Chains A and B, each alone.
Chain A
Amino acid sequence: MNYVKRLLAAGAMSFAALPAFAAQNVTWWDFLSGGDGVRMKALIQRFNEEHPDIQINGTTLEWGVPFYTKVRTSVTVGQGPDVMTYHLSRMPLGLEENVLDTISDEDMAAAGLSKSDFFPASIAAASDENGALHAVPFDIHSIVLYVNKSYLKGSRFLDDKGNVTGIESLADFEEAMALAKANGSDTPLSYATGDDGGTYRVFYTLMKQQGGELIADGQVLPGDNLGKAAKAIEIMTHWHEEGWQPEQAEYPASVALFTSGKSAFHMNGVWEVPTMIDLAAQNKLGFEWTAIQIPTLLGTTATWADSHAFAIPAGSKMSPEKRKAVMTVIGWMEKNSLAWAGAGHIPAYKPVATSESFKEMEPNATYSSLAETAAYDPRSVIAGVASPVYDASINIISPAMHGYMDPQQAAEQLQAELQAKLH
């Protein structure tokens, strides 16, 4: 017995002694796949090459509920990573779950960052009620309008330089869709109509463009917001009835509709920009494309947006050395976020976002203006990625716009359903 104890003690001592001369291993969890994943892995590899004293061990988990469930359960039992990616829209629930450590000004200094380096909206979204920071914003990503210019040739929607123009109201946009349809576009506006995220992002954008609020002061769709939600669903239903948007399109199908040239417009996240760039570079697209900020269809300029951020799990018994290493990782990532912008995102770190290099980056520069009018998800524990709001989108909004329920009724059910979750 004594022998075993001695052995264990010796082991513990040698482990404790290790950090002094060995590299810091930083356990990293993210949910990034596709183009995002490729770029993040490249960044991690670059970091590891440049930092012999810090090694990032990255693990990619499944986006959405699986990722956040895993984070919550593992962090609670002290088995979380050292650093992880986190959606700012998920912040309220993360704070309620107590899984996010506070990031102090000293931490930021260790990373060579300060709060003022970031877009204020993203810092606000990353802080709790008392202004304490719980995550470092990495990007701002939103939905944009991808355009297949070939369907608009010779119309009033394309100017001399080939820029998209003249879509300033819902009527304009619908005229453009009708025109594209007449020009042979099967489904002029493709988005993931059979998918929670795709439906929600368009719905929320239409809500915000009416100046509406999904959740305010703990109330779901208070006052005339109910009517605005109904109006948003009605617009989407109308697009369905006209045959402008695809029926029950899953995410990959919605992308394929655009890349195969069947859709004149495509509403989707900026994260598909690399797909288009790559396809165009390989001459596989077969048409001229661009991506623009979602036009102002309903009076107010607004676009659904979210941010990826870096967070440190709460309650980890990290050594100061390790904490410093983690902050070094975060700081490096921020300063090298131009590579991340290649995935379509707008860097949250202003020195990069306002740099000349970024301004030359297309089409990011075209739509980067949306950062000013970005509409984050409501700050609520039932909103954000993989939240009841997302569930309600696939459960209520999507079937309603496919004609299974009247828009007004659907808005009411949405209200009742979400309100019930806010106990």
Chain B
Amino acid sequence: MIFKLIYPKWSKLPGQTTFNLPPHGPVVFAATIPKEVTVKFTDENVETINFDDPCDFVGISMMLSTQVKRGWEVADTYRKLGKKVIFGGISTMLHAEETMQHSDAVFLGETEGRMEEVFNDFRNNTLKKIYNFMGKHPAIELVGPARRDLYNKDLYNHKGVQMVDLFHASRGCRFSCYPCAVSYLGGRMFRPRPMDKVVEELAAIENNRLFIVDNSLAQNDEWEIQLFKEMIPLKKKWISHTIEDNPKILNLAAQAGAWYVYQAVYDTSDYIKERVQRYHDYGIGVEGTILLGLDNQNEDDIKRLIDFLLKIDLDLAEFTVMTPFPHTKAYDDMLRENRIFDTDWNHYNAGQVVFHPKQMTADKLQELYDYAWKTFYADETQESKMMRLFTKVVLREMEDGTYRSRNRNLVNKSFGKDVSRFKDLKIQ
């Protein structure tokens, strides 16, 4: 049986450097599919779907709200061709009712140990409209290793430089942050994978550069310490979300190859300034993530925040506008207050204002979002700042003997498309 697994495309944010990373959800899911099934994977962000390719069953994996409408279109096309379509993934869970209108089945929850049933039902023509495993987490020991063999690796390469591979060492999150749906999706209980399985999977990844996509590594000090100790001999270099603000842990993270972290910058306090400095003290870069349009921010607050960012020596900054994604407190609050004016999911890209902010107009927030990007990168472009971070990791790799030179065969390619090596690239 051939199972066609599709990751739908979405429109990238205008004016920003786009890098296509190999998506993690589909290949983690693919690892749970019965072995006798042949999986053929298409990431529509880097290649075109050939609807004529032979297949028996179609799966659509969606992570972002901005993917769902395209995912539904793809499903509608396949269903007109007589194929059965199943949906899964994070944004399927967030948009389940609407997705059910475009599918033969939706899978809600985590798939480990559950796909034999789905494929048996497909074979017996008894596919259920919904496979509901929300809140019923499978044994964490069953997770992985992800089917990275399904990627066409050359499509995740920019001018000879291979993009990072994605990896996760745990699920769930003990935090329940205002704009985030993770606690709804993966539960509030932190569920670390067994360390031996984590190390085994990490060691098997050919790529030396990774993005550890766990919601936050700062979930449990002992676990974090053990994880970093185990990672040191692997000599990987990696990006992650927040690391616990503890000198011992930061030191171990640096030894384990921490390259740079995403750190939320939510105010102009000395704490934030010192937090960024502490990462830098250990040689770890910082990409600030800055959410604009919270109820406690007025125009002056946002401008002050942007000025502050320029003074605290961030390596990179990523600005987003507050977006009320379903199943977040933000969504509930704005729904009750009738502040959501746009429910076109294509606009839920965290760069377009879809709600009425409390202390300014939607247009003003949109203007401030554009101002933030322009101001932060006025003196040095995003690509240039990225190059500086990239140079740092190359130097570290040269020191520990893990550096691999760029793939000369792909220097005139960017994510599968022909480009000139010496010209600036605008990718969509």
Q: Are A and B co-members of a single complex?
A: no
